[in-house]
Structure 1
């Protein structure tokens, strides 16, 4: 990897902070690993432009203990801790941590550089040093105290998170687990909880878990849907199985179990200026539809796989969020959209009065597309320029698709990806429940509504 000057690092970080480019894209453009670039960003956030000034220093025992103590008390990662203390590499802190875990404080004492002296030790000096046992005992006590603090910090970090404060129950649980290794009195002092409170809470810990069956059901649903469900959908699925639980309790139990839904990322943009005629925003963010085939929304998103780009063009019914049809191709051509539109229009009935909403992508501005809608007496609607919220439902679907499917599974090749995409769309339509559809999947909701009508 090429060396970078202080100013080059500052310029790269400022490009990221401007919000125009992602950190991976910038890292790739300057030829640096994105993990290293992410560390530059952290260093800049904590120390500004001074973060990249070279430091030639050695670290004393106090310096090392200060760093390790801070990391355990605040739960910061190796990378973040290195950025805070302007340490060049996180591996340095990791090495200190390993030495402390295996050798205690002695492992952190700086060693003299160079070859050790071959001279015989003066017996008088050794005799003078040997009786000074008080300092050794104090060092051993300090070593034991720090070892206890590190062990306590690790346990607390496993039980806590950024969104939740450490409770007395958490602290009591940690003390209970470490009671065989360290004195309870010292642990309680470190945890800051009274002795009576600790024994009261430990009695509760020894009782059978009344939520054991519910936790098992939550884990089964979470893993059945491969981590795609958050607490709202899991609560709805529990209700479908006859277990009626408050959503706050499901949320709390999921946090205790360490179950967290997946995240979402950005999408491909097809806007290239005015390539034809732009329609009015007739939909105007009114995403509710009273019946099927009343309001449809569409857009295009991009996938990057095996060094290739693939483009997906779906059509979604706002009535129940169902994906009516889709096409996928290696180029975002007009045929990708027109083919999808033709397949979707086959689902229209003569009595349907339909509106189709999209962004201002060049495909939807073309005369052929507009005439195809006009021929079927379909109202065309478009988002305002650069406003993703005007087409939020299809944007939301793309976010779900990428987090639950694209970045969650491994694919052998493009054909395997397409086959798995077909399976996921079927799963999304027929099995994946939505809270706003009363805990039903899109197809279940539509079918039930038709039966009632």
Structure 2
């Protein structure tokens, strides 16, 4: 594995922060795994340039326990926790966690020499004879144990930096590679692997992986959609590509690969009481539409970025979930809605009979808004007061969009966010598949239905 200097890591991070290149483009160009580059970004966000300075800190028992307790209580990953506490090597946390679980607090107490030792009663030489403390035999045994620990954790650390987590199969591989150099029994104790498990995996080490091609394809789809797809959507995409795979198998293989959907909001409320006329709830949660431009829904949501607020107003077609158009501005003025409405009208034909549903926000109560609908022969519908479920489809879109864009990506400026938002809406309409659309994107589903008619 290529070693990178502090300066090289800092240069790579600053390239990303400039906003011209994606994480994958940068990690590929310098030959580092994408997950490792994400760790550099996390370290920099938490600690700045000091995160890349070499550290030879000796961590005391209380610090180790505090870190492990934080990871357990907050549910953060090993990599994420290491970034928060500026621990250079994430596998160090894995080592602390394993030592605490198998031996107890004593294993976390720093020793004057070498790594924190394992329980000497468990890692003895196999002899029933007691070795006098300080004797040549005891020193040799201690030296051999430290050599074994160093060799084992060095290989584990290498695997951890490559894939972000260590599986039982990975630990078996490490033990298998070291079996001629150290006692197998002691290695299995150190790795906390039952002998039966070890021999089961060893028996299968030489066999070709029957799912190797499928794993590569799953990882490719996952990376292509930047971690937004879970196992069900990946299963649907595999089906689109001619692979018939059960969703449970996809879920299992994703677990083996150590990947999962990265996708989990203060809701802007535009309701200010009755400032105009309230329309009845004609939609009445009937979110099914038999054709395009039959039922549209709209709402406004708020973003907070770089100390500023942005307001996002889209129009969504219930027929296929397609975002027809949207506007975004720094203030929730009426023009935000009127401009969006004017743009969406360009989609309509004279034969369309349309219903537009919204909540009771003040924009939608305005006389200008109601007149604009009346002029086009459009029926207005509104949710009941304080009932977000009456407009659940647009609420769900906001949740998905924030999870897959706002909370997933890093932005360098408001303009950078707007640029990424435009790319995301295009992706959502034209590429992101939906199970209820027969595994097609909204636009593809609409075009397919029109061609079939």
Q: Against the structure 1 CA distance between its residues 135 and 398, is the aligned structure 2 distance closer, same or farther, given a 3 Å change threshold?
A: farther
SS at the partner of 1:421? helix
What does 1:192-271 correspond to in 2, within 5 Å? 195-271=195-271
* Unmatched 5+ stretches in structure 2: 1-45, 47-59, 77-83, 97-106, 119-131, 161-165
Aligned to 2:276: 276
State the distance in 2 between where 1:262 and 1:369 align: 38
Aligned to 1:11: none
State the distance in 2 between where 1:269 and 1:151 align: 53
SS at the partner of 1:272? coil
Q: Is the 8 A contact 1:315 1:344 kept in 2?
A: yes
Aligned to 2:379: 379
Spell out, residue by residue over 1:415-453, the C-alpha distance to the aligned partner (whole angstroms, 9 max, x if none). Answer: 343333222212211122112111111111000101111
Aligned to 2:367: 367
Q: Is the 8 A contact 2:303 2:310 kept in 1?
A: yes
State the distance in 2 between where 1:435 and 1:101 align: 59
State the distance in 1 between where 2:278 and 2:266 align: 24
Matched residue count: 354
Cα offset, 1:291, TM superposition: 1.0
Q: Is the 8 A contact 2:314 2:324 kept in 1?
A: yes
What does 1:383-422 correspond to in 2, within 5 Å? 383-422=383-422
State the distance in 1 between where 2:108 and 2:65 align: 10
Computed over aligned residues only, the root mean square deviation of the Cα atoms, in angstroms, reads 4.5
Q: Against the structure 1 CA distance between its residues 192 and 442, is the aligned structure 2 distance closer, same or farther, given a 3 Å change threshold?
A: same
SS at the partner of 1:279? coil
State the distance in 2 between where 1:253 and 1:75 align: 29
Spell out, residue by residue over 1:350-382, the C-alpha distance to the aligned partner (whole angstroms, 9 max, x if none). Answer: 332222111222111222222322333322222
Cα offset, 1:268, TM superposition: 2.4
Cα offset, 1:298, TM superposition: 0.6
Aligned to 2:319: 319
Q: Is the 8 A contact 1:327 1:340 kept in 2?
A: yes
Q: Is the 8 A contact 1:266 1:399 kept in 2?
A: no
Spell out, residue by residue over 1:319-360, the C-alpha distance to the aligned partner (whole angstroms, 9 max, x if none). Answer: 101011111111101111111112212322233222211122
Range moving further from structure 2, 413-422 or 355-364: 413-422
State the distance in 2 between where 1:361 and 1:183 align: 72
Say which one has the larger Rg.
1
Q: Is the 8 A contact 2:148 2:182 kept in 1?
A: no
Aligned to 1:441: 441
Q: Is the 8 A contact 1:267 1:398 kept in 2?
A: no
Q: Is the 8 A contact 1:265 1:403 kept in 2?
A: no
* Unmatched 5+ stretches in structure 1: 1-34, 36-62, 82-88, 108-129, 159-165
Q: Is the 8 A contact 2:411 2:417 kept in 1?
A: yes
SS at the partner of 1:386? coil
